[in-house]
Amino acid sequence: MKIEKYLLLCAVLLSARAAEPDPTLFFSPPPEFANQFGAYSSQLKFYDGHPVKDAADWQNRRAEILAKWHGLMGPWPALLAKPRLELVSHDHRDNFTQHKIKIEITKNVLSDGYLLIPDGNGPFPAVFVPYYEPETSIGTHPDKQKSAFRDFAYQLAKRNFVTLAIGTPGGDARKPDNFGAECQPLSFLAYVAANCHTALAQRPEVDPARIGIVGHSYGGKWAMFGSCLYEKYACAVWSDPGIVFDGTRANVNYWEPWYLGFDPDHTRKTGTLPSAENPACGPYKIMRETGRDLHELHALMAPRPFLVSGGSEDYPARWPALNRSIEVNAFLGQKNRVAMTNRKDHSPNEESNAAIYAFFEHFLRK
């Protein structure tokens, strides 16, 4: 099946089933990418080359991957045992109550956000929704076009999920504030996601075993690193974050200092592709030079399910990287754990979001 036909099939399936698509439709790559791995290494081998023997040994390999990436990105601060979550004010919308909140994202640092709690009796499944600012996620941003199809927290709350929406720590994604943490900014966002999971899990309205995470673009990177690095997230959706390193695409910009390219001893011109005149620096440079790619992080999800809601940056040819996670899940005796849908544009749309909501219904509602 050619790529064009595959994209058409995705569009037809999504359009025909926009109200309630079957998420299991999206767990298989197009035939030309089935069992293809490209240059992406198997995660069933330790870094020294010896194979993973069994499911118990996989935990050792998983710990090795986790240690490698934390070693490259820098250590997290201690996780918060009981993050503060203060309810500031509330309004009733549709079938849920919207609470304006302050939430502790790192020790003694509170961030503004919103907690949306459905009417009725819980405990409910829950989803953490990170983005530049939380108003987009809850559908109240004054620029309605900006909020269009990015209002995941609002749409999921209407579907009887508790949702938690926050924005960038410090307020400016391109000038991130790590509040003293000695790790890369994107890793710090994952740390924040871990603390937000804990805050949700401790709410009486939430079933702690059924908490997911979803984000788009910048939020997609945040959701991907958060779910991969913190294993208590039950499932995840990453909307067009750039699921592999790609130095040829400006939006797959992990080299930027606000993601994985922060280096206190070196600065580069931002907003440009890495080049000989303006090379990448920081951990991103080391990762590329030592053969690291994001498929290693994806493997940390196994056997937890994840969906890539792919757009312009995550197109069908990204499947070889995902096939390595399928390989790990098969080794663990699991199938239908790695999914991808595809659209032409970077922005989400009605059909791609219908698949996202069906994914959460499938894995968190049951």
Rounded distance, CA 35 to CA 320, Å? 7
Cis peptide before 316 (omega within 30 of 0): no
The answer for 229, left when phi > 0, alpha when psi is -120 to 50, beta otherwise, is alpha
The reply to whether 158 falls in a domain is yes
The reply to whether 280 falls in a domain is no
User: DSSP labels for 10-39?
Assistant: HHHHHHHTTTS--GGGGSS--GGGTT--TT
Amino acid at 118: P
Rounded distance, CA 22 to CA 20, Å? 7
| pLDDT recorded at residue 344 | 96
Task: Tally the domains of the chain.
Answer: 1
Nearest to 316 by CA among 355, 285, 343, 288: 343
Q: What is the pLDDT along the chain (366 residues), one digit of tens a residue?
A: 455 544 444 544 444 444 567 877 899 999 999 999 999 999 999 999 999 999 999 999 999 999 999 999 999 999 999 999 999 999 999 999 999 999 999 999 999 999 999 999 989 999 999 999 999 999 998 887 777 899 999 999 999 999 999 999 999 999 999 999 999 999 999 999 999 999 999 999 999 999 999 999 999 999 999 999 999 999 999 999 999 999 999 999 999 999 999 999 998 999 999 999 999 999 999 999 999 999 999 999 999 999 999 999 999 999 999 999 999 999 999 999 999 999 999 999 999 999 999 999 999 996
- Give Cα 191 distance to the centre of its chain: 13
Rounded distance, CA 288 to CA 246, Å? 10
The reply to whether 287 falls in a domain is no
| pLDDT recorded at residue 20 | 66
The reply to whether 140 falls in a domain is yes
Rounded distance, CA 345 to CA 323, Å? 23
The reply to whether 263 falls in a domain is no
The reply to whether 273 falls in a domain is no
Q: Which domain holds residue 123?
A: 3-244+293-365
The β-bridge relationship of strands 235-239 and 306-310 is: parallel
The CATH code of the domain that includes 155 is 3.40.50.1820
| pLDDT recorded at residue 2 | 54
| pLDDT recorded at residue 145 | 76
- Please state the three-class secondary structure of 201-243 as a single string: HCCCCEEEEEEEEEEECHHHHHHHHHHHHCCCCCEEEEECCCC
Amino acid at 161: F
The reply to whether 256 falls in a domain is no
| pLDDT recorded at residue 15 | 45
The reply to whether 279 falls in a domain is no
